[in-house]
Amino acid sequence: MTGTGALARLILRRDRVLLPLWVFLIGLLPVFVASSTGSLYPTDEARAGYIRDALSNTLFLVLYGRPTEPGLGALTSWRASTSMAILALISMFTVIRHTRVEEEAGRRDLVESTVVGRYAGLLAALLVTCGANVVLGGVVTLTMLGQDPSTEGALAIGAAWAAVGCLFAVVGAVTAQLSQSPAAARGIGGAVLAVAFVVRAIGNVNSETGGAAWLSPLGWIDQIHPYSDNRWWVLGLVAGFGALLAWLAFALAARRDVGAGIVAPRLGPAQAAPGLRSPLALAWRLHRGALLGWLASFAFFGVLVGGFAETAGKMLGENPALKEYMERVGGTSAFSDIVIVGLFSVGALGLSGLAISAALRLRTEEASLRSEPVLATGASRLRWAGSHLAFAVLGPAVAMLLAGTIGGLVHGADTGHVARELPRVLAGALVQLPAVWLLGALTVAMFGLLPRYAAIGGWLALSFCFFLGQLGALLQLPQSIMDISPFTHVPRVPGGELAWTPLIVLTVVAAAFVAVGLAAFRRRDVPVT
């Protein structure tokens, strides 16, 4: 383990911006949920009515499980449980980034040529990531004490969030040993998380006691029941399973060479297929896995939008405070329309991640020195960049088209008016695209002008838009600040007027950012590492 401390300090230095950002942004999610829930449902009677309505909808059970009691702390723990999946993903990807990505880039060979233990890199990544999750749990605990005075409940919910992050950090450590490709390691980790979520959902829907949810690590976290039962022994189960996975990760690391994976990659053909003769075909080969995953996710998201709209609309009509808040987010229209607008605005924020990540593939290819062999051929810089930008533009468009179509069909079937609801819901999905494209275009501009900071710029912009979109109305921020986010200018349809001017302006601004980025890329050195 020689050198573990030095490598941990190196990770902290490299992540000195991103690490505190995701720790505190995600750590504050439960208190924001508690604050909004407390203002919208101030009494136990109101919260009990909310729970009754939620339990009547299967999709609520799928996403959140079954609440234990109407207390503010318990209801917050229940409502915020789905956000733990975001924490799990970030923890997995952080460990993979500091292990498998380092090996692929060749930096691990240089580090291990010094006096560094074989397991030092893996241990350092786990220590930093798990330490960050412990800090996040402390943030959750301290902030929740101001919402619900139960000290034991606040400690339990903080421990639950920290446990999720630490457990999936170890999952990331295992997947990083299986494949020599970081993308494959992330894909395996994402698949594990998806299976855990599905098993948890099946258990929550089919049994009031959890049932099959006990087969899922996410289901174990639900069974802690912060602010009600406070089952501390469940954390022992999580810790034991995490220790077993950690042992497996180190055992696998001992059985492979640096840069290799346990599962050997399949050898490709000696000659490339005719379909790989263009930069666009190569870009499709690189983007297709992530794109198909996003499309599957948004197909499911469309089911959620269509299934939630009618039930959530009824719940909205019974709560004047909730109605007032949702009208700020979704506009003034029919209750179900407000819900659809609000859900698509959240979905558009998530889909911006696809536009940003697709644009950042340019930077990844350049920094890993894979862009030079392509540019050494007859492919121009603009043609190579345009092949990746096609997925930053068309990927979100196809995903929103899929979500809007499925959402419209489900909502139409629920109301009995498919022909009327399908175009309305589809329009509500597609109007979000110019704002999504703008964040991707900003990332392209950063890639051209300041390539080293492209990732930080893109993800910071998305984080700021998320903060304004989800918390700006709750905090009653001035409209001048809210207008900074491009999503504020998206027309509130269905239910509102379809204004074309803001959509055209957002699209033109996005095109201008892309033009600036590509012009700068043509004139600077390649690569900038």
Q: Which letter does DSSP use for residue 453 in this model?
A: G
447 vs 458: CA distance, rounded Å: 10
- Beta-carbon neighbour count of residue 208 at 10 Å? 8
SS3 content of the chain, % helix, strand, coil (to 5): 80, 0, 20
Give yes or no for a cis peptide into 494 (omega within 30° of 0): yes
Provide φ and ψ at 224, rounded to 5°: -65, -35
Whole-angstrom distance between the N-terminal and C-terminal Cα of the chain? 30
What's the CA gap between 196 and 220, in Å, rounded? 10
Hey, where are the domains in the chain?
1-263, 276-523
Contact residues for 484 (Cβ-Cβ < 8 A; gap 6+): 464, 468
- CA–CA separation, 255 and 244 (whole Å): 17
pLDDT for 493 equals 87
What is the spatial distance between Cα 99 and Cα 96, in angstroms, rounded to a whole number?
5
Instruction: Give the distance from CA 392 to its chain's centroid.
Output: 17
pLDDT attached to residue 322:
56
Structure tokens at 291: 């794109």
Q: Which helix (H) or strand (E) holds 298?
A: helix 279-317
Inter-axis angle of helices 454-475 and 18-27, to 10 degrees?
20
- CB distance 433 to 397 below 8 Å: yes
Rounded distance between C-alpha atoms, residue 27 and residue 132, angstroms: 10
- The amino acid at residue 171 is V
Structure tokens at 258: 């640096």
**Burial annotation 279-318 (CB, 10 A radius, 16+ → b, else e):** bbebbbebbeebbebbbebbeebbbbbbbbbbbbbebbee
Whether 308 and 339 have beta carbons less than 8 Å apart is answered as yes
Residues in the chain with pLDDT < 70?
A: 54-60, 205-212, 310-335, 470-476, 529
Residue 27: which of 126, 150, 170, 144 has the closest Cα?
Answer: 144
DSSP 330-346: H-SS-HHHHHHHHHHHH
Looking at this protein, which amino acid is placed at residue 213?
A
Res 126: pLDDT: 96
Q: Which two tokens stand for residue 225?
A: 């029941």
pLDDT for the residue numbered 174: 94
pLDDT in the model for residue 48: 79
Q: What is the pLDDT of residue 332?
A: 44
